[in-house]
Structure 1
């Protein structure tokens, strides 16, 4: 299980939401071996005055937060981050400099979905990849 939050300045983020979601999902499927039908993305387009970012960045500055059940190998998470940087730049045109990614992990018992606790649900994909 994972959920993705994407933050950016609305004028830059809104026109690319669908394409960016597709690229993020493609990377998650490849790196984490997720099924194609497992996509939970939420976009947070912000007014420019509500988005402060480091110098050297542009209005394309985008923050991607991925929350998932813990258990992935370090190399798997690094692969996901690398895929995101490269494919977003290649397919969307946002440079590496304008992308920040953070992965948050939580034990399965802290999750609830389909009316069950995350550590009781039988998933159709592996967590320990």
Structure 2
């Protein structure tokens, strides 16, 4: 699951572009085929989203849940790719993007009626 939080007034019209950037970066950095993760947008009213100091109305938070196992280098490549692509393709400056990768062991994931450590047919490698 990937969650993107931002102000409704600035995020609503950019959802498709942001989703495309996220899916492209997951594929390039992690080898995850496009749209293999669920992605949700949390469009917040200004009274429910207090921006950090020195950030613009474009400020977004991206939370990415992954199975434990990717190297530090690969996770950094994903984060830096997101900063770069969001700026070049959507117009959101790196200063206005906060990214958190949350990792859980494979057995803590459940999908298609099994736990993550039981899935032997994934189209991508978790441990790299």
Calculate the aligned-residue CA RMSD, in Å: 0.8
Find 2:59's aligned residue among 58, 61, 76: 61
Q: Contact (CA 8 Å) 2:69, 2:127: kept in 1 or not?
A: yes
Once the two structures are superposed, the pairs formed by residues 1-129 of structure 1 within 5 Å of their partners are 3-122=1-120, 123-129=122-128
The alpha-carbon deviation at position 128 of structure 1 amounts to 1.4
* d(CA) in 2 for partners of 1:15, 1:127: 33
1:82-107 CA distance string (max 9 Å, x none): 00000000000000110000000000
* d(CA) in 2 for partners of 1:104, 1:39: 14
The alpha-carbon deviation at position 50 of structure 1 amounts to 0.4
1:20-63 CA distance string (max 9 Å, x none): 00011100000000123413111000001100121110111000
- Structure 2: runs of 5+ lacking an equivalent: none
* d(CA) in 2 for partners of 1:66, 1:100: 11
TM-score (norm 2): 0.96
- Structure 1: runs of 5+ lacking an equivalent: none
Q: Contact (CA 8 Å) 2:67, 2:106: kept in 1 or not?
A: yes
* d(CA) in 2 for partners of 1:126, 1:31: 11
Q: Is the partner of 1:119 in helix, strand or coil?
A: helix
| Runs of 4+ with deviation above 6 angstroms | none
